[in-house]
């Protein structure tokens, strides 16, 4: 055996063994219980186009995110002026891009203008103007800041949706941004798509607001600092839904941003599920203060502008724990806990495309892909054996190693195989022999010059090396671009193609070379079958 061949044969054998090891969970239906404790049990996952599932395109209402940030500015400014004993008539969001501040006197207005300039330097502040005998000014968000807030809203929505789906338990989802304000979600193999859609699309803004018992819901005269919401009640026997109007304070005492956990629990007295929530240190402190100051009053728990319950505060609640009760089933309580743990969406999202792919279509695609790959393999094997004789069979062996290594790598990485991924494998079948064709043609040229088979082999591999490297590197660059800018199926193609190119370099320059070296190392072979 020639020098340096032993380690190459060992390397090839190790790769073959690991490929079969990682492919076992994919090829074998049911593994023994001990397998996962010692050996890899991840398998090649099938994408949406192969196993069926749901494809969603969602649009984020980014303008609402800008309005939400202005509402926070208004609330913060109100708290700041109150803490400094600066009296004002009204502070509110005006339209979609500014906050209006109405004050009683010019002296206060000068102080407020300076405070606003220091606190909100990026906002455009108008000069004071008269508004019905009062002094008014406005803060306007700049176009640049508004666009930045919209961009962050989409990014935050993307992460929130990803957290919700991860907790929902969907295997190998695809969640990515598309364009300015669209998010694409692919959920392969999901069994309850409607539940997933409802879970993903909920804004899940949680607020705790004081009920205004002094205002009748039917009066029709709701002051600016209050709002009319409805508490839905479902009759457990008849299923009839009733809505009870309740007037609450517009400003939230505590928000869902202060939550650290939300879990489903069962009421031992009535055997009904409810959602137990835990606040962080700031939330626990605020909850303690609010409940201590409002014993005997009603406290509305508001989710997405719907009141879930409005219990009376019986006593001061310390410790940072509370509960959200209602007419929950275990499933609806679990879904509510998920969205609360994952956080609220920064802006509403609207589903503009909802496509369900059936698994039968996916199975048909798999079968056709397998047939295409099999036919491709047979045609390549026959052509190489006829045109390059015994050397062609060596190239065929390299092609088989290519496919085995690629499937093993996909399984080891837990990659998702899509229909374009199958196309990449079929393409690899042709690429795997293409490098050998370049090498063999070089060897033929050297043999025509009268060189011995061993010398012709060495020269053929040496002269073809740079050509093969150039073609593979350019293909890798193309695959990287496809992966960076492509959508889910295109990324699947890029992953399979990239792995295939790297593996093909190894098999064409190392794998097939070993076989030739074994037969030609003594230099006694006079003629080469090529």
**pLDDT tens digits, residue range 468-487?**
888 889 989 998 898 887 76
DSSP state of 258: G
Torsion sign (Cα): 255, 259, 263, 269: negative
Q: Are 205 and 344 in contact (CB under 8 A)?
A: yes
The token pair at 503 is 């593996």
pTM greater than 0.85 = no
Residue-by-residue DSSP string for 223-255: -TTEEEEEEEEE-TTT--EEEEEEEEESS-SEE
Residue-by-residue DSSP string for 374-399: HHHHHHHHHHHHHHHHHHHHHHHHHH
For the chain, what are the domain ranges? 5-52+358-520, 63-145, 202-355
Packing angle of the helix pair 453-485, 488-506 (nearest 10 deg):
160
Residues in contact with 250: Cβ distance below 8 Å, sequence separation at least 6, in sequence order? 209, 224, 225, 226, 227
**How confident is the model at residue 183, as a pLDDT?**
93
**How confident is the model at residue 525, as a pLDDT?**
65
∠ CA 8-11-16, rounded to 5°: 130
Can 5-52+358-520 and 63-145 be said to share one CATH topology?
A: no
Residues linked to residue 482 through DSSP beta bridges, in sequence order: none
**Regions of the chain with pLDDT less than 70:** 1-4, 29, 36, 169-172, 234-237, 239, 358-362, 487-488, 521-525
Q: Are 49 and 489 in contact (CB under 8 A)?
A: yes
CATH 3.30.1360.200 assigned to 202-355: yes
Pairing status of strand 45-46 against strand 416-417: parallel
- Homologous superfamily of 5-52+358-520: Multidrug efflux transporter AcrB transmembrane domain (1.20.1640.10)
The token pair at 319 is 């410790």
User: The tokens 């509402």 sit on which residue?
Assistant: 71
The token pair at 336 is 């509510």
**How confident is the model at residue 432, as a pLDDT?**
79
Q: Tell me: the pLDDT tens digits for 416-451? A: 777 787 888 888 877 878 888 888 888 888 888 888
Alpha helix positions (H), 120-238: 143-168, 193-201
Q: Which residue from 474, 404, 407, 468 is spatially nearest to 441, judged by alpha carbons? A: 468
**How confident is the model at residue 210, as a pLDDT?**
92
Q: Which residue from 273, 287, 252, 254 is spatially nearest to 324, judged by alpha carbons? A: 273
CA 388: distance to chain centroid?
Answer: 49
Q: What is the CATH number of domain 63-145?
A: 3.30.70.990
Residues linked to residue 302 through DSSP beta bridges, in sequence order: 207, 307
CB atoms within 10 A of CB 344: 23
**How confident is the model at residue 246, as a pLDDT?**
93
Alpha-carbon gap, residue 259 to 200, rounded angstroms: 19
């Amino acid at each position: 055996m020639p020098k340096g061949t032993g380690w190459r044969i060992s390397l090839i054998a190790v790769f073959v063994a690991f490929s079969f090891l990682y492919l076992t969970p994919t090829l074998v239906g049911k593994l023994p219980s001990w397998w996962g404790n010692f050996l890899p049990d991840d398998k090649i996952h099938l994408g949406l186009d192969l196993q069926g599932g749901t494809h969603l395109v969602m649009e984020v209402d980014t303008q609402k995110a800008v309005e939400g940030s202005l509402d926070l500015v208004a609330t913060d400014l109100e708290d700041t002026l109150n803490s400094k004993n600066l009296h004002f008539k009204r502070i509110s969001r005006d339209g979609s891009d500014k906050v209006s501040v109405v004050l009683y006197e010019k002296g206060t207005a000068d102080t407020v203008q300076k405070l606003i300039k220091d606190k909100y330097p990026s906002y455009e502040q108008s000069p004071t103007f008269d508004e019905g005998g009062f002094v008014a000014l406005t803060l306007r968000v700049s176009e640049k800041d508004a666009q930045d807030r919209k961009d962050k809203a989409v990014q935050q929505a993307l992460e929130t949706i990803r957290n919700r789906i991860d907790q929902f338990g969907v295997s190998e989802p695809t969640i990515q941004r598309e364009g300015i304000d669209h998010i694409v979600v692919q959920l392969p193999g999901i069994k309850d798509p409607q539940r997933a859609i409802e879970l993903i699309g909920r804004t899940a803004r949680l607020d705790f607001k004081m009920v205004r018992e002094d205002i009748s819901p039917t009066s029709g005269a709701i002051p600016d600092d209050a709002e009319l919401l409805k508490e839905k009640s479902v009759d457990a026997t008849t299923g009839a839904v009733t809505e009870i109007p309740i007037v609450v304070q517009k400003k939230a005492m505590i928000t869902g941003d202060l939550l650290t956990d939300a879990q489903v629990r069962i009421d031992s007295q009535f055997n009904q599920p409810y959602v137990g929530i835990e606040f962080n240190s700031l939330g626990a402190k605020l909850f303690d203060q609010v409940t201590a100051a409002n014993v005997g009053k009603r406290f509305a728990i508001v989710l997405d502008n719907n009141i879930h319950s409005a219990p009376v505060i019986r006593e001061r609640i310390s410790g940072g724990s509370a509960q959200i009760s209602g007419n929950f089933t275990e499933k609806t309580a679990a879904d509510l806990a998920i969205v609360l743990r994952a956080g609220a969406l920064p802006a509403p999202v609207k589903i503009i495309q909802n496509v369900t792919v059936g698994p039968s279509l996916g199975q048909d695609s798999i079968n056709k892909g397998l047939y295409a790959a099999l036919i491709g393999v047979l045609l390549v094997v026959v052509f190489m054996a006829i045109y390059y004789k015994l050397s062609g069979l060596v190239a065929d062996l390299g092609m088989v190693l290519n496919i085995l290594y690629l499937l093993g790598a996909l399984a080891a990485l837990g990659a998702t195989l899509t229909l374009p991924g199958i196309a990449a494998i079929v393409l690899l079948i042709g690429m795997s022999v293409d490098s050998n064709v370049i090498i063999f043609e070089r060897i033929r040229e050297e043999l025509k010059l009268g060189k011995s088979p061993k010398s012709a082999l060495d020269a053929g591999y040496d002269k073809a090396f740079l050509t093969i490297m150039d073609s593979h590197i350019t293909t890798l660059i193309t695959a990287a671009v496809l992966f960076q800018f492509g959508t889910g199926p295109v990324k699947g193609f890029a992953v399979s193609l990239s792995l295939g190119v790297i593996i093909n370099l190894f098999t064409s320059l190392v794998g097939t070379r070993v076989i030739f070296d074994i037969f030609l190392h003594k230099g006694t072979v006079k003629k080469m079958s090529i």
